[in-house]
Structure 1
Amino acid sequence: MSLLSLFQKKLGVRPIGAPADSAEIPVLDLEDGPVYAVGDTHGSLSLYKELENSILRDAAKFSGVATIVLLGDMIDRGPQTAALIDHLLRPAPAPLRRVCLRGNHEAMMLAYLNTPTANANWLDFGGAETLASYGISMDPDALRRSPERKLRQLLAAHIPDSHLSFLRRTLPGLHVGTYLLAHAGADARAPLTAQPWQALLWGSEGLIAPNDLTLVHGHVITPDPEIGARSIGIDTGAYATGRLTSLRLIAGQSPAVLTLKDGSEFKKLSQ
């Protein structure tokens, strides 16, 4: 059973577009090996594969099993969403393993696939590009005018069930050592067993994690990794800038960062 399957079995991850109000954050032991958080990829398959190869080379320096954690927003905006999900569905190159978190864009896509007419605003936030990657190149206005039944048939004919299952299996976050990995934010007042989805997906409660953890997040584009008092943001706008960032976490060591275009080696993070 894969690492992701173990998490899902324990937590009973809900296979729906609009999740329950709160979610339990699973734990990954940092003693197992290095963890590489990856910022928002947004349909940028070529960039992600380049970064994954860099991570593979870096992980060879350390003992244990290395885990890549994509922080959500794997989809939308960029042109290669369908191909990126195909890649993520394949086994990671040994000895790597992958875990994918849910971002607000995955949540919006799930909601659209569930009830297209009521959630058509997703089309304006990168959804049209995602549908185009599946061969659905209709104008967004034409999609809005289409009857619900016709839309459902169109989506079912073009989007594989395996991709829908992938979206549904994305996790709410991950507790790794002294870090909380989540897409957009966290609620410092809520326990890790009941973190609000709105806080995790949209950052509605800010960037402070509970239990004095440091939050590692994406969601908000910055030119370089952004270091706060208790947060590290690593969304460097890959789909628009060609800059995709990974943060390496290793037990007993300071975090290190690699941003494509800035080099090929992980460097200690400047606080």
Structure 2
Amino acid sequence: MRIYAIGDIHGQLDRLKAAHELIERDRRQTGDTEARVVHVGDLVDRGPRSAGVIDYLMQGQADGRPWDVLRGNHDRMFLGFLDDPYYHDPMLRFGIEWLHPRVGGCTTLESYGVANAEDRPLDQIHREAVAAVPARHRAWLAALPIQLRTEQALFVHAGIRPGVDLDAQVEDDLLWIRQEFLEDRRDHGLLVVHGHTAIDEVTHYGNRLNLDTSAGYGGPVSAVVIEGREVALLSEAGRVPPAAG
């Protein structure tokens, strides 16, 4: 069973399109037009075209493309802000909010035409954001799943809580977990395909595969093809092995 996956996007529409082009090249070589493409979340923040990323993914699904899109922690924070300007994600460190420069919410709002969010009253920014973000974007984001399981892999944004049954995992962990998951080398039964923790290159650790190649910090949006437990990174030169961790 062949399946494609794409890592964190963070508002980088051109890089997302480049990743999809690599997938289309691989499709042409294999003749496989039906294999699904899983996006592991963090569609928004930091990069300049978050609204465009959402439009692109929504349109692809509407056109019948076999695209699955998962929710990331940044997507959850975006929705939380739209619901309540004083929303604080329980997994985010106290004193840092979605509009903090380290998080990147202001760039997401700017992509919707809400400028200078960091310099104006919060209630004013919230009113403008609610008016600017299309209701269809909010509804689509709110409906995104937080995991996808296939015969060979579990796709999530951040990872899983090691030692907890896959059916008992909670959203906070699936969207936010780091060290407890990253440092655990046990087999989880399925290959866990994730993003969330930025690294320099797609890396296969045996029990997990990290696709977050730092698009939020200037890196590429990476795409891979998974066939059973075999993984290849898609590049301009074709399929290449991922780094080993």
Instruction: Say whether residues 1:59 and 2:27 are aligned partners.
Output: yes
1:88 aligns with 2:57: yes
**2:98 paired residue number:** 122
One-letter amino acid of the structure 1 residue matched with residue 225 of structure 2: R
Paired residue for 1:134?
Answer: 112
Q: 1:257 to 1:94 in 2, by over 3 A?
A: farther
**1:227 positional shift:** 2.3
**SS state at 2:75 partner:** helix
Find the counterpart in structure 2 of residue 162 from structure 1. 136
Secondary structure of the structure 2 residue equivalent to 1:107: helix
Q: Deviations over 1:234-266 (max 9, x none)?
A: 111124334221121124x7211125xxx3412
Per-residue CA deviations over 1:5-25 (Å, capped at 9, x if unaligned) read xxxxxxxxxxxxxxxxxxxxx
- Cα deviation for residue 96 of structure 1 reads 4.0
CA–CA separation in structure 2 for the residues paired with 1:222 and 1:152: 33
Unaligned runs of 5+ in 1: 1-29
> Which of 158, 161, 164 is 1:184 aligned to?
158
Q: Using a 3 Å threshold, how does the CA distance of structure 1 residues 242 and 229 change in structure 2: closer, same or farther?
A: closer
Partners of 1:232 and 1:166 in 2: how far apart?
A: 27
CA spacing shift, 1:246–1:105, aligned 2, 3 Å:
same
Letter in 2 for 1:86: D
For 1:258, the equivalent position in structure 2 comes to 234
Supply the distance in 2 between the matched residues of 1:64 and 1:91 (Cα, whole angstroms).
Answer: 14
CA distance in 1, matches of 2:67, 2:41: 12
1:69–1:100 Cα contact (<8 Å) kept: yes
Post-superposition, which runs of at least 4 consecutive aligned residues in structure 1 deviate over 6 A?
Answer: none
Secondary structure of the corresponding residue to residue 137 of structure 2: helix
Which deviations, in whole Å up to 9, do the C-alpha atoms of 1:90-117 show, x marking residues without a partner? 0359884111111110111111111112
Q: Which amino acid aligns with 2:239?
A: F
Aligned ranges 1:88-237 → 2 under 5 Å? 88-91=57-60, 96-119=65-88, 121-124=97-100, 125-142=103-120, 145-147=121-123, 150-204=124-178, 205-207=180-182, 211-237=188-214
Do the aligned partners of residues 122 and 97 (structure 1) sit closer, same or farther apart at CA in structure 2, a change above 3 Å counting? same
Partners of 1:46 and 1:269 lie apart in 2 by: 22
Instruction: State the alpha-carbon separation in 2 of the partners of residues 194 and 85 from structure 1.
Output: 29
Q: Give aligned pairs, total.
A: 231
- The residue type equivalent to 1:112 in the other structure is F
Identical positions, percent: 30
- The answer to whether the 8 A contact 2:36-2:66 is kept is yes
* Contact kept? 2:223, 2:234, Cα under 8 Å: yes
Q: What is the distance in 1 between the residues matched to 2:144 and 2:221?
A: 20
Report the 3-state secondary structure (helix = DSSP H, G, I; strand = E; otherwise coil) of the residue aligned with 2:209: strand
1:246 aligns with 2:223: yes
> Do the aligned partners of 1:66 and 1:95 also contact (CA within 8 Å) in 2?
no
CA contact (8 A) 2:9 2:216 kept: yes
Letter in 2 for 1:132: E
Does the CA contact (< 8 Å) of 1:66 and 1:96 recur in 2?
A: no
Secondary structure in 2 aligned to 1:123? coil
Q: Work out the CA distance in 1 between the residues paired with 2:61 and 2:237.
A: 20
Q: CA RMSD in A?
A: 2.4
Contact 1:254 1:268 in 2 (8 A): no
- Cα deviation digits, residues 206-238 of structure 1 (max 9, x gap): 145874222111111111112223111111112
Specify the SS of the correspondent of 1:255.
strand
Gaps of 5+ in 2: 89-95
Query: Which residue identity does 1:59 align to in structure 2?
Result: R
